[in-house]
Amino acid sequence: MAEIEELKQISRVKGVDQYIIVDQNGKLLAHDIKNPQKASAMVSSCGKNSFAIGKTRLEYVVFSRENKKNIFIFPIGNYYLGVVKQKSINNIAMADNIIKFLKGLL
Can you give the residue ranges of every domain in the chain? 4-105
CA distance 31 to 4: 10
Residue ranges of alpha helices (H) inside the chain are: 4-7, 36-54, 91-105
Q: Which residues contact 69 (CB under 8 A, 6 or more apart)?
A: 17, 84, 85, 86, 87
pLDDT of residue 2: 56
For residue 69, pLDDT over 70 is answered with: yes
For residue 1, pLDDT over 70 is answered with: no
CB 32 within 8 A of CB 91: no
Backbone angles phi and psi of 68, in degrees to 5 = 70, 5
Please say whether the structural domain 4-105 has been given the CATH code 3.30.450.30.
yes
Q: Mean pLDDT for the chain? A: 90
